[in-house]
A and B are shown apart, each in its own frame.
Chain A
């Protein structure tokens, strides 16, 4: 079945460590996105990529980095520079950069202790 797979579902890291969240899709979508969700707030865009080897900062990119070496994969690294990394992270994809329907993964809950 086609879809988006995020792993792991839960992740614990010590403060000061970088951590990479995985996002893989087999929908043949060009566009992929990373969102952050905090309690009581709407999802906020961290980074997005419209095509392989290209990505753009979203609204809250500071302290995060991404890569898009393959169409299927869009990993997100939460660096030690991110001041408040504990959150729920969602990956999404859409068929193109236009107003296509978005498909979401199951999310990764990151807790930094």
Chain B
């Protein structure tokens, strides 16, 4: 069983819809990351959070440490948001090591 589970695996939405992608993890963590991967393959870090909520433009990330769960929300989705969204956790310790989810493929249709 993967330590980081994302849902859904695939998500198709119409432009303007509110999007939610979920991430659950089974280990204690020091930080959780949300990443975006476009078709070209490069990855961009969207958020790194260890508690509460962060907002950047139309993107909002929340985390509940007690429930070991995080959500990524996209408001007023746009076709350019189409990408793979990846959740990753840092389980801490002396070495930086990320454990990744398998990603959620988001397609936003015009």
A interface, CB within 8 angstroms of B: 31, 33, 35, 40-45, 48, 50, 56, 58, 88, 90, 92, 94, 96-107, 109
Contacts of A90 in B (CB 8 A): 41, 43
Looking across the interface, which residue of chain A has its beta carbon closest to that of B99? A42
* Residue pair B45, A102 in contact (C-beta under 8 Å): yes
The answer, yes or no, to whether B66 is at the interface (CB within 8 Å) is: no
* Residue pair B42, A48 in contact (C-beta under 8 Å): no
Contacts of A88 in B (CB 8 A): 41
Contacts of B94 in A (CB 8 A): 97
B1-32: CB near A (< 8 Å → 1, else 0) gives: 01010000000000000000000000000110
A-B contacts, CB under 8 A, total: 69
Contacts of A102 in B (CB 8 A): 33, 45, 96, 98
Contacts of B44 in A (CB 8 A): 104
* Residue pair B45, A104 in contact (C-beta under 8 Å): yes
Instruction: List B residues 33-83 near A (Cβ within 8 Å).
Output: 33, 35, 40-45, 48, 50
Contact residue range for chain B? 20 to 34
* Residue pair A99, B30 in contact (C-beta under 8 Å): yes
The answer, yes or no, to whether B85 is at the interface (CB within 8 Å) is: no
Looking across the interface, which residue of chain B has its beta carbon closest to that of A40? B102
The answer, yes or no, to whether B90 is at the interface (CB within 8 Å) is: yes
27 pairs, CB–CB < 8 Å, chain A vs chain B? A33-B96, A35-B100, A41-B102, A42-B4, A42-B86, A43-B86, A43-B100, A48-B95, A48-B96, A48-B97, A50-B95, A94-B96, A97-B95, A97-B96, A98-B30, A99-B31, A99-B90, A99-B92, A101-B33, A101-B45, A102-B98, A104-B43, A105-B42, A106-B41, A107-B40, A107-B43, A109-B41
A-B pairs, 4 with minimum CB distance: A42-B100, A106-B42, A104-B43, A107-B41
